A and B are shown apart, each in its own frame.
Chain A
Protein backbone atom coordinates (compact mmCIF):
# COMPACT_ATOMS: atom_id res chain seq x y z
CA UNK A 1 0.00 0.00 0.00
CA UNK A 2 1.19 3.50 -0.81
CA UNK A 3 1.93 5.70 2.18
CA UNK A 4 -0.85 8.17 2.93
CA UNK A 5 -0.21 11.85 2.24
CA UNK A 6 0.27 14.10 5.28
CA UNK A 7 -3.01 15.79 4.31
CA UNK A 8 -4.85 12.46 4.49
CA UNK A 9 -3.27 11.72 7.87
CA UNK A 10 -4.24 15.16 9.20
CA UNK A 11 -7.82 14.63 8.12
CA UNK A 12 -8.16 11.12 9.48
CA UNK A 13 -6.72 12.11 12.86
CA UNK A 14 -8.42 15.50 13.15
CA UNK A 15 -11.62 13.79 14.38
CA UNK A 16 -11.51 13.33 18.17
CA UNK A 17 -13.36 9.98 18.08
CA UNK A 18 -10.99 8.54 15.51
CA UNK A 19 -8.02 9.84 17.41
CA UNK A 20 -9.34 8.23 20.58
CA UNK A 21 -9.73 4.89 18.78
CA UNK A 22 -6.24 5.12 17.33
CA UNK A 23 -4.75 6.05 20.71
CA UNK A 24 -6.55 3.14 22.34
CA UNK A 25 -5.08 0.73 19.77
CA UNK A 26 -1.61 2.22 20.28
CA UNK A 27 -1.95 1.71 24.02
CA UNK A 28 -3.75 -1.63 24.25
CA UNK A 29 -2.62 -3.45 21.12
CA UNK A 30 -4.98 -5.52 18.99
CA UNK A 31 -8.73 -5.16 19.72
CA UNK A 32 -12.06 -6.15 18.18
CA UNK A 33 -14.75 -3.66 17.11
CA UNK A 34 -16.81 -4.85 20.08
CA UNK A 35 -14.06 -4.10 22.58
CA UNK A 36 -13.45 -0.69 21.02
CA UNK A 37 -17.18 0.13 21.05
CA UNK A 38 -17.52 -0.72 24.73
CA UNK A 39 -15.19 2.13 25.66
CA UNK A 40 -15.77 4.60 22.79
CA UNK A 41 -19.18 5.93 23.87
CA UNK A 42 -20.46 5.76 20.27
CA UNK A 43 -22.35 3.08 18.32
CA UNK A 44 -20.66 0.06 16.76
CA UNK A 45 -21.48 1.20 13.17
CA UNK A 46 -19.87 4.56 14.00
CA UNK A 47 -16.77 2.82 15.35
CA UNK A 48 -16.64 0.62 12.23
CA UNK A 49 -16.89 3.70 10.01
CA UNK A 50 -14.04 5.42 11.88
CA UNK A 51 -11.94 2.25 11.60
CA UNK A 52 -12.58 2.29 7.84
CA UNK A 53 -11.19 5.83 7.56
CA UNK A 54 -8.18 4.96 9.72
CA UNK A 55 -7.56 1.85 7.63
CA UNK A 56 -7.67 3.88 4.41
CA UNK A 57 -5.04 6.23 5.84
CA UNK A 58 -2.91 3.18 6.68
CA UNK A 59 -3.17 3.88 10.40
CA UNK A 60 -4.83 0.57 11.32
CA UNK A 61 -4.67 -2.95 9.98
CA UNK A 62 -7.44 -5.54 10.28
CA UNK A 63 -7.13 -9.29 10.73
CA UNK A 64 -10.07 -11.65 10.38
CA UNK A 65 -10.38 -14.58 12.75
CA UNK A 66 -13.62 -16.55 12.61
CA UNK A 67 -16.47 -14.08 12.89
CA UNK A 68 -14.33 -11.48 14.61
CA UNK A 69 -12.20 -8.76 13.05
CA UNK A 70 -9.22 -7.62 15.07
CA UNK A 71 -7.73 -4.16 14.59
CA UNK A 72 -4.22 -2.98 15.38
CA UNK A 73 -2.45 0.38 15.10
CA UNK A 74 0.19 0.96 12.43
CA UNK A 75 2.34 3.53 14.15
CA UNK A 76 4.81 3.74 11.27
CA UNK A 77 2.07 5.28 9.10
CA UNK A 78 2.59 8.44 11.16
CA UNK A 79 6.08 8.90 9.72
CA UNK A 80 5.08 11.31 6.89
CA UNK A 81 3.41 13.52 9.47
CA UNK A 82 6.46 13.65 11.71
CA UNK A 83 8.67 14.11 8.63
CA UNK A 84 6.59 17.02 7.37
CA UNK A 85 6.97 19.07 10.54
CA UNK A 86 10.70 18.40 10.80
CA UNK A 87 11.26 19.13 7.11
CA UNK A 88 9.30 22.37 7.23
CA UNK A 89 11.07 23.46 10.42
CA UNK A 90 14.41 22.97 8.68
CA UNK A 91 13.17 24.81 5.60
CA UNK A 92 11.95 27.85 7.55
CA UNK A 93 15.07 28.03 9.69
CA UNK A 94 17.24 28.26 6.59
CA UNK A 95 14.91 30.93 5.16
CA UNK A 96 15.11 32.95 8.37
CA UNK A 97 18.92 32.86 8.01
CA UNK A 98 18.63 34.25 4.49
CA UNK A 99 16.10 36.85 5.63
CA UNK A 100 18.55 38.09 8.27
CA UNK A 101 21.22 38.48 5.57
CA UNK A 102 18.80 40.45 3.38
CA UNK A 103 17.85 42.73 6.29
CA UNK A 104 21.52 43.44 7.00
CA UNK A 105 22.05 44.53 3.39
CA UNK A 106 18.88 46.67 3.21
CA UNK A 107 18.76 50.42 3.88
CA UNK A 108 16.78 51.58 6.86
Chain B
Protein backbone atom coordinates (compact mmCIF):
# COMPACT_ATOMS: atom_id res chain seq x y z
CA UNK B 1 0.00 0.00 0.00
CA UNK B 2 1.33 3.42 -0.86
CA UNK B 3 0.08 6.65 0.59
CA UNK B 4 1.02 10.28 0.77
CA UNK B 5 0.90 10.97 4.50
CA UNK B 6 -0.50 14.43 4.49
CA UNK B 7 -0.53 14.78 8.27
CA UNK B 8 3.18 15.60 8.42
CA UNK B 9 3.67 16.62 4.82
CA UNK B 10 5.73 13.53 4.27
CA UNK B 11 5.95 10.82 1.69
CA UNK B 12 5.38 7.30 3.00
CA UNK B 13 5.86 4.13 0.98
CA UNK B 14 5.28 0.78 2.68
CA UNK B 15 5.51 -2.76 1.40
CA UNK B 16 5.56 -6.30 2.74
CA UNK B 17 8.67 -8.17 1.62
CA UNK B 18 8.86 -11.98 1.72
CA UNK B 19 12.38 -11.79 3.18
CA UNK B 20 13.69 -11.67 6.77
CA UNK B 21 14.61 -8.25 8.25
CA UNK B 22 18.32 -9.18 8.35
CA UNK B 23 18.32 -9.63 4.59
CA UNK B 24 16.37 -6.46 3.88
CA UNK B 25 18.76 -4.63 6.21
CA UNK B 26 21.73 -5.77 4.11
CA UNK B 27 20.10 -4.40 0.97
CA UNK B 28 19.53 -1.06 2.73
CA UNK B 29 23.05 -0.73 4.16
CA UNK B 30 25.61 -2.46 1.91
CA UNK B 31 26.90 -0.01 -0.73
CA UNK B 32 27.18 -2.55 -3.55
CA UNK B 33 23.54 -3.52 -2.96
CA UNK B 34 22.34 0.09 -2.55
CA UNK B 35 23.98 0.78 -5.93
CA UNK B 36 21.69 -1.76 -7.51
CA UNK B 37 18.33 -0.46 -6.36
CA UNK B 38 18.77 3.15 -5.27
CA UNK B 39 21.83 5.04 -6.51
CA UNK B 40 25.63 4.87 -6.56
CA UNK B 41 26.85 5.53 -3.05
CA UNK B 42 29.65 5.58 -0.48
CA UNK B 43 27.27 4.82 2.39
CA UNK B 44 28.62 3.43 5.67
CA UNK B 45 26.37 2.33 8.57
CA UNK B 46 27.81 4.82 11.07
CA UNK B 47 26.09 7.78 12.72
CA UNK B 48 27.26 11.14 11.33
CA UNK B 49 28.86 9.51 8.30
CA UNK B 50 28.36 11.84 5.33
CA UNK B 51 27.74 10.18 1.99
CA UNK B 52 26.34 10.96 -1.42
CA UNK B 53 23.90 9.23 -3.70
CA UNK B 54 24.63 9.87 -7.36
CA UNK B 55 22.30 9.61 -10.30
CA UNK B 56 22.35 11.00 -13.82
CA UNK B 57 20.04 13.84 -12.69
CA UNK B 58 22.31 14.96 -9.86
CA UNK B 59 23.65 14.25 -6.41
CA UNK B 60 21.88 13.76 -3.09
CA UNK B 61 23.88 14.91 -0.06
CA UNK B 62 23.26 12.63 2.92
CA UNK B 63 24.31 12.14 6.53
CA UNK B 64 23.46 9.19 8.76
CA UNK B 65 21.31 10.37 11.69
CA UNK B 66 20.33 7.19 13.51
CA UNK B 67 20.89 3.51 13.10
CA UNK B 68 19.43 0.46 14.86
CA UNK B 69 20.61 -2.69 13.06
CA UNK B 70 17.83 -4.71 11.42
CA UNK B 71 15.23 -2.26 12.78
CA UNK B 72 15.59 1.32 11.60
CA UNK B 73 17.83 3.70 9.73
CA UNK B 74 17.49 7.40 9.08
CA UNK B 75 19.54 9.88 7.10
CA UNK B 76 19.45 13.44 5.92
CA UNK B 77 18.56 13.66 2.25
CA UNK B 78 19.26 17.03 0.68
CA UNK B 79 18.55 17.32 -3.02
CA UNK B 80 17.19 19.80 -5.52
CA UNK B 81 17.02 22.55 -2.90
CA UNK B 82 14.87 20.55 -0.51
CA UNK B 83 16.19 19.41 2.86
CA UNK B 84 14.56 16.23 4.09
CA UNK B 85 14.99 13.22 6.33
CA UNK B 86 14.50 9.66 5.09
CA UNK B 87 13.65 7.04 7.72
CA UNK B 88 13.47 3.31 7.08
CA UNK B 89 11.64 1.04 9.53
CA UNK B 90 11.74 -2.75 9.36
CA UNK B 91 9.11 -4.73 11.24
CA UNK B 92 9.28 -8.55 11.31
CA UNK B 93 6.12 -10.29 10.11
CA UNK B 94 5.14 -13.96 9.84
CA UNK B 95 5.86 -13.79 6.11
CA UNK B 96 9.04 -11.70 6.27
CA UNK B 97 9.38 -7.96 6.75
CA UNK B 98 7.11 -4.96 6.62
CA UNK B 99 9.29 -2.20 5.18
CA UNK B 100 8.32 1.43 5.65
CA UNK B 101 10.05 4.47 4.16
CA UNK B 102 9.11 7.94 5.34
CA UNK B 103 10.56 11.11 3.88
CA UNK B 104 9.72 14.33 5.69
CA UNK B 105 10.23 17.78 4.28
CA UNK B 106 11.76 19.37 7.32
CA UNK B 107 15.23 19.64 8.78
CA UNK B 108 15.63 18.05 12.22
CA UNK B 109 16.74 21.43 13.63
CA UNK B 110 13.52 23.06 12.47
CA UNK B 111 11.73 21.78 15.52
CA UNK B 112 9.22 24.58 15.48
CA UNK B 113 8.35 23.95 11.89
CA UNK B 114 8.22 20.24 12.51
CA UNK B 115 5.98 20.56 15.56
CA UNK B 116 3.82 22.96 13.60
CA UNK B 117 3.56 20.35 10.92
CA UNK B 118 2.70 17.63 13.38
CA UNK B 119 -0.12 19.51 15.03
CA UNK B 120 -1.26 21.95 12.41
CA UNK B 121 -0.99 20.30 9.03
CA UNK B 122 -3.78 17.70 9.16
CA UNK B 123 -6.60 20.16 8.92
CA UNK B 124 -4.78 22.31 6.44
CA UNK B 125 -4.04 19.43 4.12
CA UNK B 126 -7.54 18.12 4.48
CA UNK B 127 -8.63 21.38 2.90
CA UNK B 128 -5.72 21.68 0.51
CA UNK B 129 -6.72 18.90 -1.82
CA UNK B 130 -10.19 20.33 -2.21
CA UNK B 131 -8.84 23.83 -2.73
CA UNK B 132 -6.39 22.67 -5.38
CA UNK B 133 -9.07 20.60 -7.10
CA UNK B 134 -11.34 23.64 -7.25
CA UNK B 135 -8.65 25.89 -8.70
CA UNK B 136 -8.17 23.79 -11.84
Contacts and interface: CB of A to CB of B under 8 A. Distances in A.
Given A84-B105, A93-B2, A5 B9 contact: no
B44 interface: no
Given A103-B17, A103-B27, A89 B106 contact: no
B4 A15 contact: no
Give the contact-size bracket for chain B: 35 or more
Interface stretch (A28-36, A38-46, A75-83): A75-83
A96 B106 contact: no
Given A10-B9, A14-B113, A86 B4 contact: yes
Given A13-B124, A85-B9, A106-B26, A75 B112 contact: no
A23 B2 CA distance: 28
Nearest to A99: B37
Contact of A85 (B11, B99, B114, B131): B11
B50 interface: no
B19 interface: yes
Contacts of A66: none
B15 interface: yes
A98 interface: yes
Contacts of B117: 10, 14
Given A16-B116, A99-B37, A103-B17, A23 B127 contact: yes
A103 B83 contact: no
B131 A95 contact: no
Interface string A55-96: 000000000000000000001101101101110110011011
Contact of B11 (A13, A16, A23, A89): A89
Interface of A: 5-7, 10-11, 13-16, 19, 23, 26, 75-76, 78-79, 81-82, 84-86, 88-89, 92-93, 95-96, 98-103, 106, 108
Nearest to B97: A103
B37 A26 contact: no
A100 B11 contact: no
A6 B124 CA distance: 16
B27 A102 contact: yes
